[in-house]
Amino acid sequence: NAGVTQTPKFQVLKTGQSMTLQCAQDMNHEYMSWYRQDPGMGLRLIHYSVGAGITDQGEVPNGYNVSRSTTEDFPLRLLSAAPSQTSVYFCASSYRWGGDGGNQPQHFGDGTRLSIL
């Protein structure tokens, strides 16, 4: 069971370039999300999805796009990279909140380390 898989693990971009960070999960989780991690700031939510075809903005969505065409995949796109987007990006997934079951644990990938020059 692979869990949450993120690719690539490392990437260096020049300002203005575009790229897509890939995230795939094999646990049939409805909920998927993207976070960025910066020193001293914890993890901040960029975008999230509660199921195929449904996405919404998190705390820091500017400069990023997402789509969710399948349950398994949730790619994050940088359309025009900026130095401020240098960060470590994490994808996470979980089952949806459900009544008496309450919130479900979120599972994280090992991240993509992105540098924008």
Partner 1 sequence: GENVEQHPSTLSVQEGDSAVIKCTYSDSASNYFPWYKQELGKGPQLIIDIRSNVGEKKDQRIAVTLNKTAKHFSLHITETQPEDSAVYFCALNLFGNEKLTFGTGTRLTIIP
Cβ at position 80, least distance to partner 1 in Å: 26
The region of 14-22, 67-75, 77-85, 103-111 touching partner 1 under the rule CB under 8 A is 103-111
**What is the full DSSP assignment across the chain?**
---EEEE-SEEEE-TT--EEEEEEESS--SEEEEEEE-TTS-EEEEEEEEETTEEEE-SS-TTEEE--SSSSB--EEESS--GGG-EEEEEEEEPPP-GGG-----EE---EEEEE-
Per-residue contact track with partner 1, 9 to 48, x per CB under 8 A? ----------------------x-x-x----xxxxxx--x
Q: Give the footprint of partner 1 on this chain (CB under 8 A).
A: 4, 31, 33, 35, 40-45, 48, 50, 58-59, 90, 92, 94, 96-97, 102-111
